[in-house]
């Protein structure tokens, strides 16, 4: 109150009544540092109101009508001419209101803060959660359909996959030996290898034509399996496509052509991540395929792939052929070269 010293001891005339049944009386209103004092025209005190308890019945209207907090039957009316007193009361009421604790406002701020935290958490958590759920519930047949749709788009660029009547059983044998559903040989498009949703591995023809043993091609297939262990190909697709793709797949069971087109362009353009040696060696050991041929195919000097050479799980063991020599020679001519 004392902060507004310019309003101390100002006076005004007004109309006051103690109850609704009484006649309004002309009174003198004076302001102290903490109270409004109402006196009659003979300067006899009629009432004192604490400034902290003054309420207004008609905010923004004139004449201004006030009452003590909790008793709107006792009123004080100040006319338009008493604007200085009205302004002083309003400023003091505003200052008092700002100084009061506002539990409702604090509660609102707390609620809004909690809502923002929840929204932020959902924004961070929901896309990955929806993606994981989609990956876990999509049936294998739908994965194969998605993989076939991607292969169709790749073949539009590379031309049809290489195949002959005699090569089909050989490719099936290679797929079974390396633990994948299907192996497809392409004349171009993929740099080396690519595992599609549904278990089909794409191999560039150079992995067949440029190497004397099938363990190299088998190694690239196994590398794709190791990558899939780190990240499911369908999860990779959905991660690139965004939350809308996961939502669409969960609700309709389909992905739009645009989503598949964009993913195909991206996966063909980007280099494939290199699997961790330990993870790779575990899959080589599971498939009983030597890792050294693959390691030397990646780096002829063996310097950057030394871990795969020294820790070859099949070193010193009797090896089961990946493919018989006759089948491997047949496969090397699959693209007609």
Q: What is the pLDDT of residues 8-20, one digit of tens each?
A: 668 889 898 988 8
Phi, psi of 309 (to 5 degrees): -80, -50
229-288 per-position pLDDT tens digit:
988 999 989 888 888 888 888 888 889 999 999 999 998 888 888 888 999 999 999 999
How far, in Å, CA of 227 to CA of 220, rounded? 11
Tokens coding 58: 């008609």
Q: Give helix then strand counts, H and E, for the chain.
A: 13, 10
pLDDT of residue 1: 43
How far, in Å, CA of 74 to CA of 23, rounded? 11
- Tell me if residue 163 falls in helix, strand or coil: coil
Mean pLDDT of 94-105: 67
Tokens coding 145: 């359909």
In CATH terms, the fold of domain 5-99 is: PH-domain like (2.30.29)
CATH 2.30.29.30 residue ranges for the chain:
5-99
Residue 180 or residue 121, greater confidence: 180
40 CA to centre of own chain: 71
Q: Which residue has 């507004």 as its token pair?
A: 4
Mean pLDDT score of the chain: 86
The pLDDT-based confidence of 2 (bands split at 50, 70, 90) is very low
Q: How far apart are the first and last CA of the chain?
A: 99
Q: In angstroms, what CA-CA distances link 145 with 138, 141, 196?
A: 11, 6, 10
* H or E stretch covering 147: helix 140-158
How far, in Å, CA of 44 to CA of 38, rounded? 9
Mean pLDDT of 28-52: 85
How far, in Å, CA of 1 to CA of 89, rounded? 11
Residue 321 DSSP symbol:
P
pLDDT of residue 3: 44
Asked if 37 contacts 45 with a C-beta cutoff of 8 angstroms, the reply is: yes
- Tell me if residue 77 falls in helix, strand or coil: strand
201-218 per-position pLDDT tens digit:
999 999 999 999 999 999
Radius of gyration of the chain (CA): 42
Q: Which residue has 């009361």 as its token pair?
A: 89
116-173 per-position pLDDT tens digit:
766 555 555 556 777 788 788 889 999 999 999 999 999 988 888 998 888 999 999 9
DSSP assignment of 32-58 equals -SSEEEEE-TTS-EEEEEEGGGEEESS
């Amino acid at each position: 109150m004392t902060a507004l010293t310019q309003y101390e001891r100002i006076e005004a005339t007004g109309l006051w009544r103690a109850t609704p049944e009484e006649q309004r009386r002309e009174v003198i209103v004076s302001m102290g540092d903490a109270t409004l004092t109402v006196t009659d025209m003979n300067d006899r005190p009629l009432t004192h109101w604490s400034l902290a308890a003054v309420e207004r019945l008609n905010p923004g209207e004139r004449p201004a009508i006030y009452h003590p907090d909790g008793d709107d039957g006792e009123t004080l009316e100040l006319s338009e001419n008493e604007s200085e007193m009205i302004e002083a009361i309003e400023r003091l009421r505003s200052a008092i209101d700002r100084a009061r604790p506002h539990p409702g406002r604090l509660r609102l701020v707390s609620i809004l803060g909690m809502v923002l935290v929840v929204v932020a958490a959902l924004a961070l958590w929901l896309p990955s959660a929806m993606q994981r759920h989609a990956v876990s519930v999509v049936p294998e047949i739908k994965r194969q359909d998605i993989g076939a749709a991607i292969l169709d788009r790749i073949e539009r660029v590379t031309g049809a996959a290489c195949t002959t009547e005699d090569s089909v059983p050989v490719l099936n044998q290679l797929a079974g030996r390396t633990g994948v559903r299907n192996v497809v040989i392409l004349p171009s498009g993929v740099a080396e290898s690519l595992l599609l949703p549904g278990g089909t591995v794409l191999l560039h023809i150079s992995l067949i034509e440029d190497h004397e043993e099938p363990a190299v091609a088998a190694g690239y297939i196994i590398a794709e399996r190791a990558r899939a262990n780190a990240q499911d190909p369908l999860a990779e697709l959905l991660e690139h496509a965004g939350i809308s793709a996961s939502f669409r797949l969960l609700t309709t069971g389909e992905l739009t052509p645009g989503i598949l087109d964009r993913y195909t362009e991206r996966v063909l353009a980007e280099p494939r991540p290199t699997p961790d040696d330990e993870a790779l060696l575990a899959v080589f050991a599971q498939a009983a395929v030597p890792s050294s041929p693959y390691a030397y195919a990646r780096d002829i000097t063996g310097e950057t792939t030394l871990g795969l050479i020294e820790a070859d799980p099949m070193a010193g063991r009797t090896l089961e052929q990946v493919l018989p020599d006759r089948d491997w020679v047949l496969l090397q001519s699959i693209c007609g070269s």
